Amino acid sequence: MAQREDMLATIRHAYAARGDDDVEGLVTTFHPEGAFTLKGDKSTLELAGSVQGHPALRGVFGELIKNFGFENRKILAELVDGDRVAVHSRLDVRYHPTGKTFSTELLDLFRFQDGKIVELIEFADTAQVKAMIS
């Protein structure tokens, strides 16, 4: 049970850092070889794809935070199975260059190693994101 609560606490810390535009706080929740993948067609949305390791995470999270604010996150469901966690949430996304906002839902799939996030696969409405930045 403690491992379950520790993983959820790490995820909440990561979400709080993301909501506070805190790149370093977000990166520290990841294992040094941690990976982040935004699922989607990279030819349609350049933001889609994978990165691995703290330097790459710092770069991609810095760009995402610079362009997209995550506000009013509400966790709808959390499922834990061993070293894996699935989180379904609803939030408002603000595109900083224009100030436009939209509400959306995300599905995040986490895998943990040594108490840190070693993998995060995020499923988002990339068509909605593309429409916002076009």
> What value does the mean pLDDT take over residues 1-11?
89
Q: CA 110, CA 134: separation in Å to the nearest integer?
A: 30
pLDDT in tens, 101-121: 999 999 999 999 999 999 999
Q: Of residues 95 and 130, which shows the higher confidence score?
A: 95
Q: Give 2-133's CATH code, choosing from 3.30.70.270, 3.40.50.150, 3.10.450.50, 2.70.150.10.
A: 3.10.450.50
Asked whether the beta carbons of 29 and 14 are under 8 A apart, the reply is yes
- What sign does the CA torsion over 36, 129, 97, 20 have? negative
> What value does the mean pLDDT take over residues 24-29?
98
Domain boundaries, the chain: 2-133
Instruction: Please give the model's pTM, rounded to 2 decimal places.
Output: 0.93
Q: Reduced to 3 states, what is the DSSP secondary structure of residue 40?
A: coil
Q: CA 46, CA 52: separation in Å to the nearest integer?
A: 17
Q: Which two tokens stand for residue 32?
A: 């040094």
Q: What pLDDT score was predicted for residue 132? A: 83
Q: CA 105, CA 123: separation in Å to the nearest integer?
A: 9
